[in-house]
Amino acid sequence: MSIGEEKAITDPSPPNKGEPKKAATLVTAHVSNDIYPHLYPGLLPIILMPQLGFSIAAAGLISTVIALTTQLMQPVMGLWADRLGGRAFVVGGLLVGSIIVPITLGWAPTYFLLLLGLLLGGIGNAAFHPHAAALMSEMTRKYKGSGMSLFMLGGNFGRLLAPLLASFALYFGGRHGLLVLAIPGLIMAVVMFFSMNPPPTPKHREGKIFTVDFFKSIKQRGGLVLLSIVGLRFMTVMSVVTLVPIMWAQAGIEYGIYNLLLTVVFAAGMIGNLLGGTLSDFMGRKPIIIASAILSALALILFINSSSVIGGFVLIALLGASLYSSDPVIMLFSHHIFPENKGMASGITVGLGGMVGSLGVTLTGFISDIYSPAIGLYVAAGAMIMVIPFVYKLIK
């Protein structure tokens, strides 16, 4: 029996009667938390780029910076949450993201301040995720794939709502009207403060964690392989979210239509989350990741070459479902690799993997500036095919 298998034995104690209610609250909080990092893409072509005067490459840099903060900070946040109990990170993360991001999008007068504000808001997002994902894994016990799917479903629903809420606030209040979008996060921060009462028990550890042996164990347990998969996948996701609105705007398509396109991506992603996690409980995890990679690359290539708006919506829906179907499975792989610190495991996987992928968004943005957004998206499709060889190296 491996180290991971020894630690990952299911807790035989019966579930707490309040856990389903707390799990539902946690999913709802995830909805709110994931609204804020996804408000800006649809605003890029219509307001942010024209008013602040920056290029596609600079737009790609925004995605990179946001990803670096929302992702890179997660291992550290996950470790702190494991040690301190997590409530301050879940509640505080919601507060920071919901306050800073709407203010930044609504009022930032320069590109630098826009970048800085979104960076700070991303730190709040990073604080929420690791401990929340670990709590969900503990609550769902036997059906972890299904439970993680529901948790990811909440995040995707938040992403789905983001462009709709941005459009609504923009239509009724102009750019400054985006400030009203702080309300959902503020409400859920209060709800989670009382829901996490008593606060989760801290997980104390003796000695240092980030030692030479620790980093050797990451490689031995398959962590580097998993990080490669997450990085390539995240590069594709962020390239799609950033470049697709710009490509359609350049084609003369109206704001409301291409912003709705992002909503379709995330709506389909919700279905993909649910199907991917649930099917992994019966079919295994590796087949889900491979199928996700193949279908995502194919759907993206077909979308780039689509000549009709309706066809584009159909293909982008297939792309969203395919891309996000592997999310819960990848998270469970991370928990298997480090079962003794699931918050840190979530942070390492999503954080460091996302950091690698975020650098790829700068690349696709730069390529788009030189050639076209379509060429940048072709590169992103190629990244998904590169996922497949790594899947075979994953430790079960």
Inform me whether the pLDDT recorded for 162 exceeds 90. yes
User: What is the rounded average pLDDT of the residues 327-341?
Assistant: 71
Q: How far is Cα 104 from Cα 49, in angstroms, rounded to an integer?
A: 14
Scanning the structure block, which residue is given the tokens 């606060």?
A: 199
Inform me whether the pLDDT recorded for 140 exceeds 80. no
pLDDT of residue 11: 43
Query: What's the mean per-residue pLDDT of the chain?
Result: 82
DSSP type of residue 201? P
Q: How far is Cα 162 from Cα 11, in angstroms, rounded to an integer?
A: 37
Q: How far is Cα 152 from Cα 265, in angstroms, rounded to an integer?
A: 14
pLDDT of residue 109: 95
Q: Name the residue ranges covered by the structural domains of the chain.
A: 16-202+210-391
Inform me whether the pLDDT recorded for 129 exceeds 50. yes
User: What is the rounded average pLDDT of the residues 322-351?
Assistant: 70
pLDDT, tens digit, 9 for 90 and up, residues 173-223: 999 999 999 999 999 999 999 887 766 665 555 555 555 555 566 666 667
pLDDT of residue 160: 85
Cβ-in-10-Å burial (0-12, 13-18, 19+) of 48 comes to: buried
Q: Which fold has domain 16-202+210-391?
A: Growth Hormone; Chain: A; (1.20.1250)
C-alpha 7: how far from its chain's center? Answer: 27
pLDDT, tens digit, 9 for 90 and up, residues 269-320: 888 888 887 888 788 788 999 999 999 999 999 999 998 999 999 999 999 9
Inform me whether the pLDDT recorded for 7 exceeds 50. no
Question: What are the CA-CA distances from residue 131 to residues 17, 74, 83, 153, 264 (Å)?
Answer: 21, 9, 10, 17, 28
pLDDT, tens digit, 9 for 90 and up, residues 54-110: 999 999 889 888 877 776 676 667 666 666 656 788 899 999 999 999 999 999 999
Residue 41, CB-side half-sphere exposure with 13 Å CA sphere: 35
Using DSSP's 3-state secondary structure scheme, residue 85 falls into coil
Q: How far is Cα 159 from Cα 163, in angstroms, rounded to an integer?
A: 8
